Amino acid sequence: MNFNRRSAFVTFAFFLFAQSAAAEPLNQDRWQDNFTARVEILALLETLNADLLSHDSATLTLDHWCSDHQLASAKIIANLVRGSEKEPTEEQRQLLGVSPSEQVRYRRVRLSCGDHVLSEADNWYVPSRLTPEMNKILDTTDTSFGRVVRPLHFQRHTLSAKLLWSPLPRNWEMIARVPEQHESALAIPHAVLEHRAVLTLPNGTPFSQVVETYTSEVLDFHRR
């Protein structure tokens, strides 16, 4: 979805929301399976997607999402998944510009806002391109990678960004009949959005490749 189409879509979504808000009360805890809710969810996912694409740090972006949607009073916390290990593929080594023998470490974390796990991130990074202190923090604490390497003033280069699930069918705007409404809560899968990116130093040297899977819990806020 390009910028102009996204802007038109978001405008339409808010118009539709305003029209429907006066007609029926919003459910405070669960998204109902109706057309209005599906349009709102799609607008939210596209908004989060755009925010992630326009900032270098996914952690800081989620900090703002957590605060803006009052999911919890605390900032994003990284919970390290210990005991997991994934060797980098040949393609990943090429992306990172490392030889077959150079060390590449793997780290998997769940980024949480209070009790809500917003993202599950797989990270392959080159320790020789970080400072010894950064490597020590990554090895011994659950601190998120983005916070640890922030002093590097890194840049994020997105390889792919895609919705893993859409609440509306493809080309829904061309369909005369809107999806049927139901009284039950909308079934939303766990994984809703995926980003793949490479992080580089200011001089362009890559040092990390990440795969971030954003969960349906980004939508677990109470609407007024």
pLDDT of residue 165: 96
Angle between helices 35-53 and 3-21 in degrees, nearest 10:
140
pLDDT of residue 17: 45
pLDDT of residue 177: 65
pLDDT of residue 14: 45
Answer whether 0.85 is exceeded by the pTM: no
pLDDT of residue 221: 87
Domains of the chain: 3-219 (3.40.1410.10)
Q: Which residues of the chain have pLDDT under 70?
A: 1-29, 176-181, 223-224
Q: Using CA atoms, how far apart are residues 213 and 190, in angstroms rounded to an integer?
A: 9
Helix (H/G/I), strand (E/B), else coil: 161? strand
Q: Using CA atoms, how far apart are residues 49 and 166, in angstroms rounded to an integer?
A: 13
pLDDT of residue 73: 77
Q: Using CA atoms, how far apart are residues 155 and 144, in angstroms rounded to an integer?
A: 16
Nearest to 134 by CA among 124, 146, 122, 120: 146
